[in-house]
Amino acid sequence: MTQSISPAQNTVADPGSPSTAIRAHITAALHRLNDLHGPDAIADRLHRLGIRGVCGDPGRCAIANYLTALTGLDPYAVLYVDHLGWDLWAPGDPDTRPAIAPMPDHVAAFIRRFDRNDYPDLHVVPGIDNLLDWA
């Protein structure tokens, strides 16, 4: 079995890990969002897709919900997203899974603005909004 070293995290990624393909999908999806060239364009894309999220919640923010919907994550997986980076733990992952991966610049800017309530139309308020509307 061949292992690759990720220079950004300086960790060993096991190509046989259950979440290796999902991690690659998440990385590609974040770069596609970043290619929209700005947080307002990202907000517009998420709005058109009907993606919303909880302000300040790294597991249920708009970006986390977008990635979850796009990748079909295992319901027991944990995806953590903030302006500094992202991490995924999926059932069956080894303890040596990659550490937090960097967040592309425009996506990081969107997350900071989302958490500052700059995009209220993308926010969901738990206990008030129907969770099924944005899951």
pTM of the predicted structure, to 2 decimals: 0.78
Per the CB < 8 A criterion, the answer to whether 84 and 114 are in contact is no
pLDDT score of 9 more than 60: no
Give me the pLDDT at residue 19, please.
Answer: 74
Q: How does residue 126 score in pLDDT terms, banded at 50, 70 and 90?
A: confident
Mind listing the pLDDT tens digit for each residue in 43-75? 999 999 999 999 999 989 999 999 999 988 888
In angstroms, the CA 13 to CA 96 distance is: 8
Mind listing the pLDDT tens digit for each residue in 90-100? 777 766 666 67
Average pLDDT over residues 26-55: 95
DSSP 118: S
Biggest CA–CA distance in the chain, Å, is: 49
Per the CB < 8 A criterion, the answer to whether 80 and 58 are in contact is yes
Of these ranges, 20-29, 76-85, 87-96, the one predicted with the greatest mean pLDDT is: 20-29
Domain boundaries, the chain: 17-123
